[in-house]
Amino acid sequence: MKICILTQPLYTNYGGLLQAYALQTVLKNLGHEVVTEDRRYDSHLTLIERLKRINWIRTLTGKRKIYYPDNQEMKVISQYTDQFIKKHISVTGPVLSHDDNEIRNLAFDAYIVGSDQVWRPMYSPNLKNYFLDFTAGKNVKRIAYAASFGTDRWEFTPEQTKVCSELVKKFDAISVREDSGVNLCREHLGVKAVTMLDPTLLLDKEEYINLVFSEDEAEHDGNVMTYFLDRTELKDAITKEICRKLSGRPFCVTPEKKYSDVGPKGLYKCVYPSVTYWLKGFMDAEYIVTDSFHGTVFSIIFNKPFIAVANKERGLSRFVSLLEMFGLEDRLVFSIEDVSEDLIFHDIDFARVNSIRKAEQAKAFSFLKKSLQ
């Protein structure tokens, strides 16, 4: 069967890239021909848009200059993550998020929406595309696999709710990533959904290790890995406290600087390391501190002790649902007071965690096989 996966644009988000890779790998292993839609935001910025994006803006803390990379700068920033896409993810031709005509020209036997926060309006311009509006009148399979709202709050406008609730009722199978997503589907879209593992959890760690070995990545200098999407003084303090108690040496797997802070002058300090370098961090680490959903996921996959720092702005329900599934709710902390010595040194029962994951994998494979019959 020819299948097209719709997910968030493939740029520099390690978790987003690896969930796309994992779902595609699983479907190919099931014997299908699979590509991922190469969804992109605007292909260029007009001069006026460019000027607006580097203007002074007011934030809660006062005036701050925010920079946004243009296309050429983005190619520099994403040069290594782009290599991973070219090598490991089969994609369609470019599809602009605002251009319905391009996506309507796609012709497949089945469309799978997921995973990532595809059903979160703030991350999905032209939201109705992620409810497969462009397949109207086509005899195709429509499936949502581990689609995520990213939050337990309803963020659709009344018009989006009306349109999307009509579209989703045409789906052949609906699964979401978080328990809260089941409730949101029932209460606001009028459909039943089941929870499924994030695609990254469908592959065992050996498959990710093989990716690393294929690139011969160097070892990291340190033993406590930090992966923060939004670095703060609190997260730095938590890392420092953990390293102090473990006599550990921290290392990070993110660019030295954010382009939004430094702009063109600091461009080459904003380059994202390769995906396999990021994965190697989980192999080398003895302990992991992260505010990332997928940072938490890969800590579980690699069976490494970890602390997940709550990141409310990016959607807390994702962490809660994931950790509750594996009985690891205590690993989520909100303040430095939560980081007790007992928590840091408490052994995680990974034999139990792995057993749960195997059972959930079996459910996911069954769901996909049945949905694609």
| 171 and 225 assigned to the same domain | no
Residues in contact with 7: Cβ distance below 8 Å, sequence separation at least 6, in sequence order: 16, 19, 20, 23, 36, 37, 39, 113, 114, 115, 116, 118
Q: Is residue 95 part of a domain?
A: yes
- What is the rounded distance in angstroms from the CA atom of residue 148 to the CA atom of residue 151? 8
Using one digit for the tens of pLDDT, what is the confidence trace for 29-82? Answer: 999 999 999 998 754 444 444 444 444 333 444 556 788 888 899 999 999 999
pLDDT band at 357 (very low <50, low <70, confident <90, very high): very high
Using one digit for the tens of pLDDT, what is the confidence trace for 257-267? Answer: 999 899 999 99
Q: Is the dihedral of CA 223, 229, 232, 238 positive or negative?
A: negative
Task: Output the pLDDT for position 42.
Answer: 59
Task: Output the pLDDT for position 296.
Answer: 97
Domain count, the chain: 2
| 170 and 153 assigned to the same domain | yes
Using one digit for the tens of pLDDT, what is the confidence trace for 234-277? Answer: 999 999 999 999 999 999 999 999 998 999 999 999 999 999 99
- Inform me whether the pLDDT recorded for 344 exceeds 60: yes
Q: What is the mean pLDDT of the chain?
A: 92
Cβ 261 vs Cβ 200: under 8 Å:
no
Q: Is residue 68 part of a domain?
A: no
Q: Is residue 50 part of a domain?
A: no
| 10 and 108 assigned to the same domain | yes
| 83 and 176 assigned to the same domain | yes
Per-residue DSSP letters for 307-351?
A: EEEP-GGG-SHHHHHHHHHTT-GGGEESSGGG--HHHHHPPP-HH
| 364 and 347 assigned to the same domain | no
Structural domain including 102 reads: 2-43+73-202+358-371
Question: Which range among 15-19, 91-95, 155-159 shows the weakest confidence by mean pLDDT?
Answer: 91-95
Cβ 253 vs Cβ 273: under 8 Å:
yes
| 114 and 28 assigned to the same domain | yes
Q: Is residue 131 part of a domain?
A: yes
| 308 and 172 assigned to the same domain | no
- Inform me whether the pLDDT recorded for 312 exceeds 90: no
Question: pLDDT: is 101 or 40 the higher one?
Answer: 40
Phi, psi torsion values for 49, nearest 5 degrees: -65, -40
Question: pLDDT: is 175 or 106 the higher one?
Answer: 175
Q: What is the CA radius of gyration of the chain?
A: 21
**Residue 245: which H helix or E strand, with range?**
helix 233-246
Question: Mean pLDDT throughout 137-161?
Answer: 96
| 111 and 195 assigned to the same domain | yes
Three-state SS at 195 = strand
| 118 and 26 assigned to the same domain | yes
Q: Is residue 63 part of a domain?
A: no
| 155 and 293 assigned to the same domain | no
Q: Is residue 209 part of a domain?
A: no
pLDDT band at 316 (very low <50, low <70, confident <90, very high): confident
Task: Output the pLDDT for position 317.
Answer: 87
| 195 and 299 assigned to the same domain | no
Task: Output the pLDDT for position 59.
Answer: 43
Cβ 320 vs Cβ 340: under 8 Å:
no
- Inform me whether the pLDDT recorded for 328 exceeds 90: yes
Tell me the CATH number at 146: 3.40.50.2000
Tell me the CATH number at 264: 3.40.50
| 315 and 186 assigned to the same domain | no
Using one digit for the tens of pLDDT, what is the confidence trace for 182-235? Answer: 999 999 999 999 999 999 999 999 999 999 999 989 899 999 999 999 889 999
Q: Is residue 321 part of a domain?
A: yes
Question: Which range among 8-22, 38-52, 88-102, 351-365 shows the weakest confidence by mean pLDDT?
Answer: 38-52
Question: Mean pLDDT throughout 286-300?
Answer: 97
Task: Output the pLDDT for position 47.
Answer: 41
Q: Is residue 314 part of a domain?
A: yes
